[in-house]
Amino acid sequence: MGANRRQRVVIVGAGFAGLFAARGLRRVDVEVTLIDRHNYHLFQPLLYQVATAGLAPSDIAWPIRGILSKQKNVTVLLDQVTGVDKTTGEALIGDSKIRYDYLVLATGARHAYFGHEDWEPYAPGLKSIDDATEIRRRILVAFERAEMTTDVDERTRLLNFVIVGAGPTGVELAGTVAELARRTLAADFRRIDSRSARVILVEAGPRVLPAFSEKMSSYAQKALTRLGVEVLLENAVTQCGVDGVVVDGQDIPSATVLWAAGVAASPAGDWVGATVDRAGRVFVEADLSVSNHPNIFVAGDTAVVYDSKGQVVPGIAPAAKQQGRYIAKVIQSRVDGTAPPRAFQYRHTGNLATIGRKSAVMELPFMRMTGLVAWWGWGIAHIYFLIGVRSPLTVAINWLWQYVTYSRGARLITGGRPGGADSE
Amino acid sequence: MGANRRQRVVIVGAGFAGLFAARGLRRVDVEVTLIDRHNYHLFQPLLYQVATAGLAPSDIAWPIRGILSKQKNVTVLLDQVTGVDKTTGEALIGDSKIRYDYLVLATGARHAYFGHEDWEPYAPGLKSIDDATEIRRRILVAFERAEMTTDVDERTRLLNFVIVGAGPTGVELAGTVAELARRTLAADFRRIDSRSARVILVEAGPRVLPAFSEKMSSYAQKALTRLGVEVLLENAVTQCGVDGVVVDGQDIPSATVLWAAGVAASPAGDWVGATVDRAGRVFVEADLSVSNHPNIFVAGDTAVVYDSKGQVVPGIAPAAKQQGRYIAKVIQSRVDGTAPPRAFQYRHTGNLATIGRKSAVMELPFMRMTGLVAWWGWGIAHIYFLIGVRSPLTVAINWLWQYVTYSRGARLITGGRPGGADSE
């Protein structure tokens, strides 16, 4: 190992944190290996649109190789990391190992069911493209089966849609499912009236969008109600099974229950034996490294980061992006032998959530907006956010196009069980 | 059953034949039920583009309900017909039955392996969206695994792609896989050179595109060779398994073998006990009805139709469309009590096949074209062909857009086995 060997940075995860860490190293004299178990970078804020048949997967996910093809110091590998050997400095991939000088763990989050993991098959969450297309399948097939059945109770059950958790994901899902039922599909059926579907949003806490201000919360709740969503606050799901849910003692028969009620970190914290919080997120130092392991960094939803005011940095995309870039700067300073950057400081860019196609709440540091102008502001913010991933103009034109044409192509039912009517 | 009861037309299959039969009945006083086991109408001519990651499924498939939502006399059902009871006049759907006065069977084709059905898992065919995304997955994962492996023989095997059958589908697949390897993916990998991939097109007969003229055949073969496709003519596959194929005694190790060598009809002929040919296609009368069953019609790839010159009508999309429309006219004449139309006469609109992104062969009744102008002519012909399915302008803009941007989003690897690196 001569002094002139280029140092190796291994980044696990090609979400916002991992991708922008890789891009941040494009002018640094290191060999970067970026490993992800998917071949695409996923724009998670719009995953709910794929789940509700408003966008296609290819509208919100792009091959990592395509994004990084011009960056010659990056090698992309499609694989799954299963552990880390800190003593030898290697990441474990099945039977193989990859040596690192610097390791960045940016493996994101998964769903948390608060001890009720057995609910997962009946109440899928939304973290990946395959989650989204499965949810889309369930929603669309529910309407199809309702059209075919002659059993009145079964039809009612099929036309009840339950969303658990009223954070941004739950609110966005509820709003778009309601619109799907009330508008998009309204002319498509002859035996059922899709507009009679019930969309029920269940939240254990006292308000929707608990991370937003009360005023924005209240606006969002009214907008949801106008769309016909039934908002049940301070109600918790106590049972969940193939027939539906039980919410505070009340039976709600349903064929489509969607889980947006909690996330936990990926198991990366276990790989390095770091201290984690209750959700499995790794406590990191001021420079986002793991205690006593200055060459191992954790970023994004897998980390718990405190800002200078002592507040936890939210698990949202802009935070992950900033952390990824910051880590690249730290590594750069070490490779170049220059002074390290100051402690990581999160710059809050705001809270955004849409309600249907025409409304949104947008809480920026100095401004709040609601309604249609917030919806367009939300769109522009997200497109701007993609700079460095994909040409914003390309994305803007594509999304605008889908919006204007109601993206009928996104309403495909694919996959499913062999031999069933909804499969090949 | 009073004289004033509206008659019922049951159409099985929402491909070109079934869809245009349904649309042809929009001004006829009948109740139409259109049944398909998918919720979308699929534009099959472009399926090879989805299989080679050039287009997304939503670019070539549209929900049937969306297409027919304005046609009030049509009910669309997502289900699978399993048989027909001719004595009671009912189509069987699992445990249910649907009564018909007129029945149209337009259930298309499936792959034929000429007695080697055990080859199917190793050499998938291309008839549906799920086929296409599975083939796409195999192609892209082959490159990914080649990037990761250190075994030279394995890398060679992974970078061999074999297409069996040189009809239009095989030619189109071979051309686009070659372009994928030589151009689209060329900058994406660091350890392999994707351009070194071998693309081998195997054909048992003496020329590619056997249904075309010899001159077009010869042009296509040269164009394929220029793209780096190895064309093996008068060579038959004698073995096929997980390691590759054996072609006339020669071993070709491969991880990706695609079957484009034969089709057979769907089993609809068995449902009605009709006379069928070797490929299972139903012999029909001059008005496309089944012998001795004037109210049961068969159209599209499930039928074998002779034109007035005694030649078999080819199993291509324009033929299916014409047959569907014709059947609607026959049914209309019976319902209205007017004179029936003359015997079905197929109007040949031409043979088209693309080779890569810049070349095509186009054989029209009065003209032949090759090269780039044929490619654009092909595009225009297909867009025009979609009138009645989707706004041609919408489709034109969408496809043009994908072409210009190289449709990166279509290169997603989705689905796959749970627990593997290429799955969720």
pLDDT for res A262: 84
What residues of chain B score a pLDDT lower than 70? 1-3, 406-409, 416-424
Q: Does A230 contact B at CB distance below 8 Å? A: no
Q: Does B80 contact A at CB distance below 8 Å? A: yes
pLDDT band at residue A77 under the 50/70/90 scheme: very high
The residue-averaged pLDDT of A311-334 equals: 93
pLDDT for res A216: 93
pLDDT for res A418: 41
pLDDT for res B286: 92
C-beta atoms of B39 and A398 within 8 A:
no
Which chain B residues touch A76 with a CB distance below 8 Å? 147, 188, 190
Distance from CA of A58 to the nearest CA of B (A): 4
> In the structure encoding, which two tokens stand for residue B10, read together?
């049951």
pLDDT for res B391: 76
pLDDT for res B407: 63
Q: Does A37 contact B at CB distance below 8 Å? A: yes
- With beta carbons less than 8 A apart as the criterion, state whether B265 and B282 touch: yes
Q: How far apart are the first and last CA of chain A?
A: 54
Specify the residue for token string 């920026």: A364
* pLDDT cut 70: percent of chain A above it: 96
C-beta atoms of A63 and B408 within 8 A:
yes
Q: How far is CA A110 from CA A296, B135, B412, in A?
A: 21, 29, 21
Task: Give tens-digit pLDDT for A284-301.
Answer: 999 999 999 999 999 999
Which chain B residues touch A77 with a CB distance below 8 Å? 144, 147-148
pLDDT for res B3: 55
pLDDT band at residue A378 under the 50/70/90 scheme: confident
Query: Burial code of A379-391, b = ≥16 C-beta within 10 A, e = fewer?
Result: bebbbebbeebbe
C-beta atoms of B62 and A409 within 8 A:
yes
Q: Which residues, other chains included, contact A403 with Cβ-Cβ below 8 Å and sequence gap of 6+? A: A357
pLDDT band at residue A407 under the 50/70/90 scheme: low
pLDDT for res B408: 61
Task: Give tens-digit pLDDT for A181-231.
Answer: 998 899 899 999 999 999 999 999 999 999 899 999 999 999 999 999 999
Q: Residue A188: which of B65, B141, B411 has the nearest Cβ?
A: B65
pLDDT for res B282: 94
C-beta atoms of A401 and B401 within 8 A:
yes
Q: Residue B408: which of A66, A144, A413 has the nearest Cβ?
A: A66
Dihedral angle of Cα B179, B391, A411, A254, to the nearest 10 degrees? -170
Q: How far is CA A50 from CA A390, A410, B119, in A?
A: 19, 7, 35
C-beta atoms of A414 and B69 within 8 A:
no
Residue B37 to residue B54: CA distance in whole angstroms:
25
Q: Is the pLDDT score of A422 beyond 50?
A: no
pLDDT band at residue A3 under the 50/70/90 scheme: low
pLDDT for res B422: 37
Q: Residue B148: which of A77, A147, A188 has the nearest Cβ?
A: A77
Q: How far is CA B403 from CA A283, B290, B361, B400, in A?
A: 46, 43, 19, 5
- With beta carbons less than 8 A apart as the criterion, state whether B54 and B13 touch: no
> In the structure encoding, which two tokens stand for residue B348, read together?
């040949």
Q: Does A129 contact B at CB distance below 8 Å? A: yes
User: Is B203 assigned a catalytic role?
Assistant: no
C-beta atoms of B78 and A144 within 8 A:
yes
Q: Does B124 contact A at CB distance below 8 Å? A: no
C-beta atoms of A411 and B140 within 8 A:
no
Task: Give tens-digit pLDDT for A271-282.
Answer: 999 999 888 899
Q: Residue B39: which of A37, A413, A424 has the nearest Cβ?
A: A413
Q: Considering the candidates B117, B172, B214, B424, report the single residue annotated as catalytic.
A: B172
Q: What is the 3-state secondary structure (H, E, C) of A77-96?
A: EECCCCEEECCCCEEEECCE
Return the closest-CA partner of residue A149 out of B74, B93, B15: B93
pLDDT band at residue A416 under the 50/70/90 scheme: low
Q: Does B400 contact A at CB distance below 8 Å? A: no
Residue B420 to residue B423: CA distance in whole angstroms:
6
pTM assigned to the model: 0.85
Q: What are phi and psi of B345, to 5 degrees?
A: -125, 120
Q: Does A131 contact B at CB distance below 8 Å? A: yes
Task: Give tens-digit pLDDT for A299-312.
Answer: 999 999 987 778 88
pLDDT for res A423: 29
Nearest Cα residue in chain A from B405: A394
Give the A window 268-327 contacts with B, CB below 8 Å: none
